[in-house]
């Protein structure tokens, strides 16, 4: 029993571990991937910020400042040249030509600086757009990270719930162990009680057997005593008959015919009584069915001067001899079966009649009222019923059929309980 408990505990823990691994393993990759994504995007975000700071704070600002300084310088030179040109226009033409050439060069240089400034502004716009795109990507990655974090939080919650379930299962396992121990103790107690009841039952059965043996001995003694009384009575009658015959022989011839007739009638009665007594003795020495038949014959016969043994037999078995007349009228008549009726039997405990016929059915009839009422139809036989009988309690009824089969029904629910068939 201890090994079974240990195996059951190990099996339960193994199944719980497999369930945890099966439910946690698919999310390990997601957790690791979310952590790696988070680290990667943090690095990218930092690099982007550094890149933006580098271009915004150093290069672009330096270029813009330099261009502004150059532009201011060129503007100052332009103003100086214009002033010089204005004042020099009144002088010689050679200086004016040189000034115009210098102005053209300065304008060309100013145009180049403006174009370079335009390119720088264009590059600034492109970098700004790149920064906006990178910010959008960073926001998307942050949303993904938030989703992963929420999923991770849900998995942690589910893991906590599973841990609580495991704890609850462990507590229930402990309770089941306690309950199992309690049941084992109860089972042991019931086994002890059952053993005691079996011993008591065997004692009661042994006592019952002893009582039955004593009863059979008492009945055999009563039967022997009754047989002795019958034999003594027969011997007395035989001796009396012999004495009567001897007296008739000694008397004159005129009285001989009367004595002969009397003796013949006495002989006839004696022989009849002897046969009946022999039959009674044979019936009494047989089984219980023979005793019941003797009771019915003795109690139903007409009493006369030679019926004292039968009366004593009925008194021994607890019955009184009464004079019974043959029935002359029909008390009740009804059609029990569609075809012939082969068997009929009274219930030993109630006014219920069981009949069996060629229609392969056993029917129960309630005859306690003015007209018989069908109580139940017991089916299940494959041939005609030829005999039926109740048990001593009236709870079961058996029926035999022409197919060498016997079947037992219960009277309470009218169900077939036992069915058997022997070989021909």
Lowest-confidence region among 115-119, 132-136, 260-264:
260-264
CB 344 within 8 A of CB 355: yes
* pLDDT (0 to 100) of residue 113: 80
pTM tops 0.75: no
* pLDDT (0 to 100) of residue 229: 87
pLDDT digits (tens, 9 = 90+) for 299-342: 333 333 333 434 443 443 444 444 446 667 887 888 889 888 89
Tokens 């030993």 found at: 348
Percent of the chain with pLDDT over 90: 24
Q: How buried is 381 (Cβ within 10 angstroms: 0-12 exposed, 13-18 middle, 19+ buried)?
A: buried
Q: pLDDT confidence of 227, banded at 50, 70, 90? A: confident
| 304-321: burial string, b at 16+ Cβ within 10 Å, e else | eebbebbbbbbeebeeeb
CB 169 within 8 A of CB 20: no
Work out the angle at residue 131's Cα, subtended by the Cα atoms of residues 129 and 136, and round it to the nearest 5 degrees: 95
Cα–Cα distance for residue pair 354/363, rounded to 1 Å: 6
Q: pLDDT confidence of 406, banded at 50, 70, 90? A: very high
* pLDDT (0 to 100) of residue 389: 95
Q: Which two tokens stand for residue 361?
A: 């059915």
CB 371 within 8 A of CB 416: no
CB 267 within 8 A of CB 244: no
pLDDT digits (tens, 9 = 90+) for 352-372: 999 999 999 999 998 888 788
Cα–Cα distance for residue pair 312/277, rounded to 1 Å: 12
Q: How far apart are the first and last CA of the chain?
A: 53
Please determine, for residue 401, whether its predicted confidence score (pLDDT) is greater than 60. Answer: yes
Lowest-confidence region among 70-84, 252-266, 384-398:
252-266
pLDDT digits (tens, 9 = 90+) for 61-98: 677 777 777 777 777 777 776 776 666 554 455 556 77
Of 380 and 297, more confident: 380
pLDDT digits (tens, 9 = 90+) for 198-208: 999 999 999 99
Q: Could you give the domains of the chain?
A: 341-419 (2.40.10)
Q: How far is CA 242 from CA 236, 238, 259, in A?
A: 10, 6, 12
Percent of the chain with pLDDT over 70: 72
Q: How far is CA 95 from CA 79, 88, 102, 208, in A?
A: 16, 7, 10, 162
CB 314 within 8 A of CB 297: no
């Amino acid at each position: 029993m201890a090994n079974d408990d240990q195996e059951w505990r190990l099996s339960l823990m193994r199944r719980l571990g497999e369930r945890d691994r099966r439910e946690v393993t698919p999310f390990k990759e997601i957790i690791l991937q979310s952590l790696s994504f988070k680290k990667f995007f943090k690095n990218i975000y930092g690099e982007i910020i550094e890149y933006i700071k580098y271009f915004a704070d150093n290069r672009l600002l330096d270029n813009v400042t330099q261009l502004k300084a150059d532009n201011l310088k060129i503007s100052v030179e332009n103003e100086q040249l214009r002033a010089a040109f204005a004042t020099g226009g009144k002088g010689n033409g050679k200086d004016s030509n040189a000034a115009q050439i210098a102005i053209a060069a300065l304008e060309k240089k100013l145009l180049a600086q403006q174009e370079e400034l335009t390119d720088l502004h264009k590059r600034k716009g492109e970098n700004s757009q790149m920064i906006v795109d990178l910010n959008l990507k960073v926001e998307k990655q942050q949303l993904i990270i938030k989703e992963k974090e929420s999923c991770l939080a849900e998995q942690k919650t589910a893991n906590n719930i599973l841990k609580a379930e495991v704890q609850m299962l462990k507590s229930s396992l402990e309770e089941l162990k306690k309950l199992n121990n309690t049941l084992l103790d109860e089972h042991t107690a019931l086994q002890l009680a059952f053993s005691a009841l079996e011993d008591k039952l065997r004692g009661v059965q042994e006592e019952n057997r002893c009582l039955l043996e004593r009863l059979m001995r008492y009945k055999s003694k009563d039967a022997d005593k009754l047989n002795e009384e019958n034999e003594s009575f027969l011997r007395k009658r035989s001796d009396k008959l012999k004495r009567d015959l001897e007296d008739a022989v000694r008397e004159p011839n005129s009285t001989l015919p009367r004595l002969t007739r009397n003796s013949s009638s006495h002989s006839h009665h004696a022989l009849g009584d002897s046969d009946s007594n022999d039959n009674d003795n044979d019936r009494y020495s047989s089984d219980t069915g023979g005793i019941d038949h003797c009771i019915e014959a003795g109690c139903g016969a007409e009493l006369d001067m030679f019926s004292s043994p039968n009366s004593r037999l009925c008194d021994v078995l607890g019955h009184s001899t009464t004079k019974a007349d043959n029935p002359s009228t029909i008390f009740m008549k009804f059609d029990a079966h569609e075809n012939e009726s082969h068997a009929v039997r009274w219930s030993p405990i109630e006014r219920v009649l069981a009949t069996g016929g060629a229609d392969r059915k056993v029917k129960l009839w309630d005859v306690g009222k003015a007209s018989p009422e069908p109580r139940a139809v017991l089916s299940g036989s494959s041939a005609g019923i030829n005999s039926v009988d109740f048990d001593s309690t009236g709870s079961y009824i058996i029926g035999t059929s022409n197919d060498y089969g016997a079947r037992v029904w219960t009277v309470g629910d009218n169900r077939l309980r036992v069915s058997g068939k022997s070989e021909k």
